[in-house]
Structures are given as structure tokens and as C-alpha cells.
Amino acid sequence: SKRHKRKRFSHKSKVFFLFSFNKNSAKSSCVSCALRMLQIRVLNEDLQRKAKEELNEVPTRIYEDLKALRKWIEEQAHLYANIDDQFLIAFLRGCKYSLEKAKKKIDSYYTLKSAFPTLCNVTNVDSARFREIFRLGLCLPLPDPLHDNGPRIFIMRGGLPTAERFTVEELMAVNHVLQDILMLEDDYAVVNGLVMINDFKTLALTHVLQANPMFLKKFLTYNYEAIPLRIKSNHFLNAPKMFDSVYNVGKPMLPLKQQDRIFFHSSLDSLSRYVPLKYLPNDYGGENGSIAKIIDEWDKKLDKYRDHFSKSTEWGTDEELRIGETKDQNGLFGIDGSFRKLEVD
């Protein structure tokens, strides 16, 4: 049966103002009034500049941009979405303030979560199995951004021996939960994007075999067309020969712009030309936190966000109510499984 439009969830968090304004200025006063109810963190001075110059952010228009995006969401009968300011501005920034691209990305985000919940929509971050996978430290954002004020560094350590009893979808679902948290709380990731480091020294054959074309379709579509965190570069360290088959299938799915951002390294010395050693974890000879400590800190973050993920069961899409072409698995990828090249800014 068709569902009624559900009430949107909104965090009752502290109200943050984007900028301070001169109270003696009538114009500034109007802007302050317009922003009064926005629940958005203040960007530091460097990120404010980058948001303006690189993402086309106009502070005096943020209220109206969010209002327009929220109105569009309310008008979509099939779409049940988080409409919190901090959540929505991640999509506006990730789409460089193209309202139409932000709409498309939000729709893709929830469409894929509904279509592929095992991979894209974990709602119970307290399950013993989820925490066991997370505590392996396979997917971890590092504490300090690149060059201290650049993109967030995200390391993925593929196929530790203890991970072989889990599926590749389960492992990547942890990755997606952490990226959801970054969307909500990490301005470096939202404004500057991500630098991905994939250490495949212990990549498991079982996971390579599970990374079939359909998995890659789902994984790449979600990461490049749904999540509003821009991938600035993708580094593969110690990739074994058996990874070639996965790479050769996945690479043509990406636009040339993203293909040009992929780099392979056989040593830390090679990687350090792009990511200086000091920005790697202590376990790699760097100064960017120890794996064990980062796991502990993010374990606490998962506790903090348990209600958020639990309430995400309220969000998603109802394809019976979608106007136009249904986006079930056939609508997403074609009945024959054909896959178009991804669209990425």
C-alpha cells in the first residue's frame, strides 16, 4: 500500500550562525534575520574563502537556497528525506550550489539507500557484527586534513585476514556510515573533499571475487553520484596483481576526470609525493594518529550518532509514488545490467 508522507526529522541542535554581521547595517540586519533559524556550523576563515571561491557559496543566499531545496523535497511524493540545514548544505556545497544537481544527488542518495540497504543504509550501528567489522579499522578518516587545511584523508585497508569472514558489501557499508558522519560534522570533507588511500597489501581473494560488476555498479554509483563528498584523488598502495581485474571493470565506469585522479603506488615513498608521510597514521611512520586511537575515537562517534542512524529508517524513496520512470534495480542499471558512465563534477 502507498505510504502517507511521513513527518520529516529535524535535530533540535544548537543554532549556529554562518557569519557575524554589523548590527548597525540595515542590510546586515536583514541577513541576520534571514539566517536566524539556520542550524549550520560557522566555517573557519580559510574554509569560508574556499566555499565562496571554489563552491560558489554566497552567504547572503544560503537561506533562500536551503529554502528552495527543502520546498522541492516536500513536493516529491516519493521522497522522504532529512531536511536539516547541516545535512542539506552538504549537498549544495558538494554540487557547487547547482540546485538542480543537488536535487538529483539527494534523490540518488535516498534511492540507492532504499534499493540496496545492505550496502548503503545501515540503520543499526550498535549491532555486534557491525561494530566488529568497524573495529578492524578497515575504513578510517584520519584526524588531520591534508596540509592541515585541505581535504580529509580517508584510509581503507583492504582485506585484513580477520575480515575474510565478512562480505565485501558489509565492509563497504561501514565505509558509507563513516562518510555519512563526515557529511554531518566535517567541514573539511564537505568543502575540500576527500583524498582516498587504499592500502591493499593484504587484499583478500574472497573479496576480489565478490567485487563483481553489479557490486561495482552499486558501489561506484553511490560513492560518485549520491554522496556529496567530492573525491579529489584516489591512491592505491600495494595493490596485488589480482586487483587488476576489479580495476579494469570499474575504471571505464568513471568519467575521464576521475580516472585521471587515480594513482598507483608500490611504496610509501611514491605515495608521499602526493600525501606527505606526516599525514599518514603513526602505524605507517606518520604523525596523523595511531590506528588504535582513531578506532577508539570513532567508536565513540558511532555511539553519538546511533539515534541518527536509527531514525534514518524514516527516510528513503517509495517507487510506487515516483512520477516518471521507476528507479528500482532495473530502472537504475537497466534490465540487461548495462551501466552508463557516471556523472561527476
pLDDT string in tens for the chain (345-residue length): 334 444 444 433 334 444 444 444 444 455 445 445 688 999 999 999 999 999 999 999 999 999 999 999 999 999 999 999 999 999 999 999 999 999 999 999 999 999 999 999 999 999 999 999 999 999 999 999 999 999 999 999 976 667 778 999 999 999 999 999 999 999 999 999 999 999 998 887 888 888 899 999 999 999 999 999 999 999 999 999 999 999 999 999 998 999 999 999 999 999 999 999 999 999 999 999 999 999 999 999 999 999 999 999 999 999 999 998 877 655 565 534 455 556 656
Cα–Cα distance for residue pair 119/170, rounded to 1 Å: 6
CATH topology of domain 120-304: Phosphatidylinositol Transfer Protein Sec14p (3.40.525)
Q: Give the residue among 164, 122, 168, 137 at the shortest CA–CA distance from 295.
A: 137
CA distance 202 to 223: 23
DSSP 282-344: GGGTSSS--HHHHHHHHHHHHHHTHHHHHHGGG-EE-GGG-SSS--SHHHHH-TT---PPP--
Residue 46: strand, helix, or coil = helix
Instruction: Kindly list the domain boundaries of the chain, sorted by start residue.
Output: 120-304
CA-wise closest residue to 135 among 285, 279, 302: 302
The residue count for the chain: 345
- Residue 40's SS3 state is coil
Q: Contact, 134 vs 302, CB < 8 A?
A: yes
Per-residue model confidence as pLDDT tens digits over 255-303 = 899 999 999 999 999 999 999 999 999 999 999 999 999 999 999 999 9
User: Residue ranges of the alpha helices (H) in 194-267?
Assistant: 205-210, 213-221, 244-250, 256-259
Q: Which residues of 90-127 are buried (b: 16+ CB within 10 A; e: fewer)?
A: bbbbbbebeeebbbbbbbbbbbbbbbbeebbbbbebee
- pLDDT tens per residue across span 197-231: 999 988 878 888 888 999 999 999 999 999 999 99
Determine the Cα–Cα distance for residues 70 and 77; give it in Å rounded to an integer.
13
